[in-house]
Structures are given as C-alpha cells and as structure tokens.
Amino acid sequence: MRPVKPIDALRQDLERDLQARKTAGLLRTLQVPHGIDLCSSDYLGYAHDPELSNEVAAVVAQEGLGSGSARLLRGHLPLHDAVEARLATFCGREAALLFSSGFAANSGVLPALCGPDDTVFSDALNHASLIDGIRLSRARRVVYPHADLDALETALKVPRTGRALIATESVFSMDGDLTDLTSICDLAERYGALCLVDEAHATGLYGARGSGRVEALGLSQRVACTLHTGGKALGSGGAWIAGDRALIAWLINHCRSFVFSTAVVPAIAASLDAAVRRLPRDAQLVTDLHEKARLLRDRLRANGLDLGQSQSCIVPVLLGEAKRALAVAKSLQDQGFDVRAVRPPTVPEGTARLRLTVRAPLARADLLRAADALTLAARP
Ligand SMILES: Cc1ncc(COP(=O)(O)O)c(C=O)c1O
C-alpha cells in the first residue's frame, strides 16, 4: 500500500476535527453582516462616520497608504510622533506607542516586561492576547478566578523573586462586567506588583476625556500601562500602549511585535487621532449609550434572562449549551437582528451565550424589540 501523502493526511485530520466540531455545535464559519447590528464593537457608530472617514482620507491623500517598513527602519513618520503625543495626553500619561492591533500590543508588551524570573497574575477570563503574551514571556503564570480579589491577594502573598505584574481587562469582553480596578491597584501597591490594564472595551466610553476606566477612576499614575484599541468604540483598528516615557522607550527596544512589524499605516494613525479628537463633542452620545445599555439589561433581566454580572454595553445572555445558543441566535437572525452565538472554548464550557452589544446608533425601540424576541426564542 502506498503511504498517504502528508498533505492528504493533514486534510483528513482537519476534516475529521471540523466534522466533530460541527456535530458538537462548535464549528465556526464566517458570516457577513446582515440585519440590525447587535454584536459589533462599533459602540459609537464611528466605523461609518462620514466626517471621520473624510478626515482620514485627507491624511491618506497627503501621507500615502503605507509606512514602508518597521518604525526602527524608515517607517517612522512625523505623523506617528504627533499622534502618539496626542494619545499620551488623551490618556494622561507621558508617552504612547502605536501598534497594528490590540493582539499585537498585548502579545508583545507582556514578554517585553516580564521573563522567566517573573510572575504574572492573570484573571481567568482575560483575553487570548493577554494569555498568549504571558505564555510568550515564559513568566510564571498565576491565574486567579475571575474577579476574585481574595484569591488574587492570597496569590500575591506567596513569597517570590523577580517582577510581579497583574494583568486584567477593565471591561471584560465576553461578560461585560467592570473590574474593581481601585482594589487591584491597592493590592498591587501592597504586594509590590505592577498593573497592566486592557481598556479595549472601555476606550471611548469611560472617563472625562474618554480614555477609559483607569482615567475615570483616577488611577492613571498607579498602573504601569494601559492598552487601548482602535477597533471598537474608535471605529477603525490599531492600538496603543500608554505609560511612562521610560516604559515606552523600553518597548521601542524590546517589544518584538513592535520592533519586527511594519509601522502602523497612516490611515490607522489618522483614524485613531480623528476619533480621539471627536470624542469631546460626543459626550452626550456616550451618556445616552450607557443609558440604552441599561435599558436593554433591565428589560432582559426583567424577562428572567441570566446576564451574569454585566454592567456595560456588552450584554451576554447566558444560555448554557452551544446548540441552544446557536438556535436562539438563528431565530433572532431570521427576525432581522444580527446576533452571534459565542461558544466554548471562547467562553467556559456550559456558558455558551448570545453576546449582545449596545451601540449608540441603535433605537431604543429596536433594543426592546430584540430583548422580547430573544426572551421568546430562549424559552425552553
Ligand atoms: C479585551 C481585548 N483585548 C484585546 C483585543 C485585541 O484587539 P484587536 O482586535 O485590536 O487585535 C480584544 C479584541 O477582541 C479584546 O476584546
């Protein structure tokens, strides 16, 4: 018998795995947007804002499409300096550094700051990019149960050598709950640890300037650095890290996802800049958005649905099994609502959900209609 060619063996392995996923209701396929957007992170509707698009187009017309190379080669443009200075001011920090994505930032910053002699304390529900960053750092990883600060304190008390860093999101991306960042900073200071706060789902939505919950809680000088993404409330893409000048200079020297990656293109730098300059005008929009999110949460909870600890624009409706979440999602999609089922391993086993997001452009009536349709569809 002729041996199976490696490429055929691979295809058979992959097809077997994909079929098993399908049977378990866990297969992912790509779906283009359709219906009323109740699942994107374009919280403020900036992704299709004509004024912002025009502003970015004007910068692209002047600066061009590409940066040409990494920042440490010829890719560093005056635009990067100007935008980073404004992003630093926006965050109330000395300096900022642009990245092509939040994933690149988190997975690069952690290994730049921590190594095998160090310890990273990580919330159990942290985003994959933080988890991968910790893995790449080869630091000792201590995962504490989600939001369990007693467990975090117990872990911090254990004698250790090297640097200690607590990594957490400020608004949890799949659960929509708000981290007790003040207590985390207190613990960090008591036990000699640094804090890295991922503000992906808070940027644009919290704080007087809009940089996030660290700003809103007056903690800017108490955390080592914050991560901000452009792909959510700011409507485009890219990301930045804000922190002390020394920390940013260190990243420029040691952060592999910065050093060995093409510089952020002018369109992304310009779109972050334009969105951040726009935020002060949209303060009322943000207030209304939080009020709409409360309206949706209250209606769903009054209808008897389990939203966990959600307190934000991220509203998970916990449904349990993956197939149930898929069926409820399909029913809502058929009624014109764009919702998606989030299933393991993205979320823990038995907690498959519809992850709704509330966005400023949504009408209150549509939110209530969606809540009631979901309640009917979720009835056992
Ligand atoms: C909490 C959190 N951190 C980081 C990221 C990664 O950001 P980006 O989409 O810019 O790679 C995401 C995006 O899904 C996120 O939700």
pLDDT tens-digit profile of 328-347?
A: 999 999 999 999 999 999 99
Q: For residue range 141-186, list pLDDT tens digits in order.
A: 999 999 999 999 999 999 999 999 999 999 999 999 999 999 999 9
Q: How far apart are the first and last CA of the chain?
A: 53
Residue 54 contacts residue 46 (beta carbons within 8 Å): no
What is the 5 CA–ligand 1 centroid distance (Å)?
38
Pocket of ligand 1 (CB under 6 A): 101-103, 106, 127, 129, 169, 173, 198, 200-201, 229, 231, 239
User: What pLDDT band is residue 353 in, cutting at 50, 70 and 90?
Assistant: very high
- Is a pLDDT exceeding 80 seen at residue 1? no
Average pLDDT for 296-300: 98
State the pLDDT at residue 284. Answer: 98
Q: For residue range 258-284, list pLDDT tens digits in order.
A: 999 999 999 999 999 999 999 999 999
- 0.95 surpassed by pTM: yes
Give the position, in ligand 1's atom list, of the atom nearest the Cα of 231: 10
Residue 166 contacts residue 190 (beta carbons within 8 Å): no
- CA distances to 92, 114, 256, 292 from 280, in Å: 15, 36, 34, 19
Q: Whose CA is nearest to atom 9 of ligand 1?
A: 102
Average pLDDT for 293-310: 98
- Is a pLDDT exceeding 90 seen at residue 9? yes
Active-site residue 100, yes or no?
Answer: no
What is the 199 CA–ligand 1 centroid distance (Å)?
9
> In terms of DSSP H, where are the helices of the chain?
6-23, 50-63, 78-91, 102-113, 128-137, 149-157, 181-190, 213-216, 245-254, 256-259, 266-278, 283-302, 322-334, 364-378
Distance CA 326, CA 110 (A): 35
Residue 75, CB half-sphere, CA atoms under 13 Å: how many? 22
Active-site residue 292, yes or no?
Answer: no
Q: For residue range 107-126, list pLDDT tens digits in order.
A: 999 999 999 999 999 999 99
Average pLDDT for 39-58: 98
What is the 41 CA–ligand 1 centroid distance (Å)?
10
Active-site residue 201, yes or no?
Answer: yes
Probe target for ligand 1 pocket from 39, 99, 103, with the most ligand atoms within 8 Å of CB: 103
**What is the C-alpha radius of gyration for the chain, rounded to an integer number of angstroms?**
22
Distance CA 88, CA 90 (A): 5
State the pLDDT at residue 111. Answer: 98
> Mean pLDDT of all residues in the chain?
97
Distance CA 236, CA 229 (A): 9
Here the tokens at position 162 are: 């090297």
Q: What is the CATH number of domain 32-46+282-378?
A: 3.90.1150.10
What is the number of other CB atoms lying within 10 angstroms of the CB of residue 355? 24
Task: Give pairs for 74-81: CB < 8 Å, separation 24+.
Answer: 75/262, 75/263, 76/263, 77/263, 77/266, 77/269, 79/266, 79/269, 79/270, 80/263, 80/264, 80/269
Q: For residue range 60-114, list pLDDT tens digits in order.
A: 999 999 999 999 999 999 999 999 999 999 999 999 999 999 999 999 999 999 9
State the pLDDT at residue 282. Answer: 98
What is the 71 CA–ligand 1 centroid distance (Å)?
22
Q: What is the CATH number of domain 50-280?
A: 3.40.640.10
Choose the catalytic residue: 127, 201, 228, 292: 201
Domain extent listing, the chain? 32-46+282-378, 50-280
Choose the catalytic residue: 129, 232, 257, 310: 232
Average pLDDT for 35-55: 98
**Partners of 122 in the β-ladder:** 143, 167
Q: What are phi and psi of 337, to 5 degrees?
A: -105, 130
